[in-house]
Amino acid sequence: MTQQPLGIIVNGATGRMGYRQHLVRSLLALRDEGGFPLSDGSRRPIELYLVARNAEKLREVAEQHGVAKYTTDLDEALADPDFPIYFDALVTQLRVPAIRKAIAAGKAIYTEKPTAESYAEAVALADEAEAAGVKNGVVHDKLYLPGLLKLKRLIDSGFFGEILSVRGEFGYWVFEGDWQPAQRPSWNYRAEDGGGIIVDMFPHWNYVIENLFGKISSVYTEKRTHIPTRVDERGEPYTATADDAAYAIFDLDNGPIVQFNSSWTVRVNRDELVELHVDGTHGSAVVGLFGAKVQPRNATPKPTWNPDLPDANDYQSNWVEVPQNDAIENGFKLQWVEFLRYVVGDGEHHYDFRSGAAGMLLAEAALESDAQGRRVSLQEFALGNAADRAAAQVDAR
């Protein structure tokens, strides 16, 4: 028996993330494989409905990839009962109103992060989706990366003993846009348009840390706008109002301390664009998007500090690569499969709008920490925020 294709509306289909990661590498790949795999070994076909604002670009993308259905009118797509899933890869600022429409249309919803521009709005969105009974999920792609899957395996195997500390280093140089075009959209550098590296990356760090190491109890952050003027897509200079670097320390409930540098103003001298260095009592690991290398306790060299003599030890050679052992799959695609199976009642997907809101909580607490120049407790920040929301509701009555 041929299965009815599962219809997915892809909003922001021509954007950077919407096109490359979600459309081409995930959804079109799944479509071309005959659909997404189900637990019984069969595949459920999918059908796509593309939505974007630029009609010309949209038509080109749809024709290039053989997608019959596309529109610049979101309402038209949402009104189609053959497409019960809505996916959102719009710029962050437009996300909440679009998702509210999808909730009203009764769609199952999957979205890029962050789910909203503020924690209060992200909580409201989670409340609304739950009240409407629509299935919802948010992209947690980093957890599905080969390197982080290896790290999870190391943790689950007990390799580290007690994890003491984690140092995260994320970033690369984003060109200013004058003598070479910037490789990220200009809105990323304008706070008024939802930009900033804290809002962009801390939601990721939140789920990475909480799913691998433990619950974050407090955050201390210093943010900077190192490059004050950039040049946009039209060649016009603009003032960068958003943070392009953030230096953070996260305390975890269960003991480990996590330091994380996030920057679009660093030149890479690492194996990968993000690296986590984990030190435990029984071993250490350095993990990137793809690779992971380890140094167990019983193969640890014994350096001695002597600035008068060149150090003969080649420290890099003291590490062992962790083998892949599984086929490498795109992380976005792996999570798509999990979400789609959850929608059709064939498995679990744990990262919902509530989890998206937790990511925004960390981002806002970090911004608050920078503004106040002190460490901020996440629990206190969430309680204060809930009290503010309750007061706002009373005022509105």
Ligand X SMILES: NC(=O)c1ccc[n+]([C@@H]2O[C@H](COP(=O)([O-])OP(=O)(O)OC[C@H]3O[C@@H](n4cnc5c(N)ncnc54)[C@H](O)[C@@H]3O)[C@@H](O)[C@H]2O)c1
List of residues contacting ligand X (CB under 6 A) = 12, 14-18, 52-54, 89-92, 94, 112-113, 139, 141, 185, 200
Q: Which is nearer to ligand X, 67 or 322 (CB)?
A: 67
Q: Which is nearer to ligand X, 50 or 219 (CB)?
A: 50
| Closest separation in Å from C-beta 168 to ligand X | 15
Instruction: Concatenate the DSSP letters of all residues of 101-114 into one string.
Output: HHHHTT-EEEEPSP
| Closest separation in Å from C-beta 213 to ligand X | 20
Question: What count of other Cβ atoms lies within 10 Å of the Cβ of residue 199?
Answer: 25
Strand stretches in 301-346, DSSP E = 320-321
For residue 94, give the DSSP letter.
G
| Closest separation in Å from C-beta 94 to ligand X | 6
Q: Which is nearer to ligand X, 54 or 300 (CB)?
A: 54
The residues near 381 (Cβ < 8 Å, ≥ 6 apart) are 361, 364, 365, 368
Q: Which of 191, 221, 194, 195 is nearest to 206 (CA)?
A: 221
Cβ-closest residue to ligand X? 15
Q: Which is nearer to ligand X, 144 or 160 (CB)?
A: 144
| Closest separation in Å from C-beta 8 to ligand X | 16
Q: Which is nearer to ligand X, 120 or 294 (CB)?
A: 120
| Closest separation in Å from C-beta 95 to ligand X | 6
| Closest separation in Å from C-beta 242 to ligand X | 12
| 109 close to 134: Cβ distance less than 8 angstroms | yes
- Amino acid residing at 174: V
Q: Which is nearer to ligand X, 143 or 322 (CB)?
A: 143
Q: Which is nearer to ligand X, 51 or 322 (CB)?
A: 51
| Closest separation in Å from C-beta 396 to ligand X | 28
Instruction: Concatenate the DSSP letters of all residues of 195-246 into one string.
Output: --HHHHHHHHHHHHHHHHT--EEEEEEEEE----EEE-TTS-EEE--S-SEE
Q: Which is nearer to ligand X, 163 or 208 (CB)?
A: 208
Specify the pairing of strand 6-11 against strand 46-51: parallel
d(CA 97, CA 116): 10
Q: Which is nearer to ligand X, 6 or 89 (CB)?
A: 89
| Closest separation in Å from C-beta 267 to ligand X | 20
| Closest separation in Å from C-beta 33 to ligand X | 22
d(CA 108, CA 16): 23
Alpha helices in the chain (DSSP H): 29-32, 55-64, 74-78, 95-104, 119-132, 146-156, 197-212, 331-343, 353-372, 378-396
Q: In a 3-state reduction of DSSP, which class is residue 379? A: helix
d(CA 247, CA 220): 8
Q: Which is nearer to ligand X, 53 or 65 (CB)?
A: 53
| Closest separation in Å from C-beta 218 to ligand X | 25
| 112 close to 329: Cβ distance less than 8 angstroms | no
375: left (phi over 0), alpha (psi -120 to 50) or beta: beta
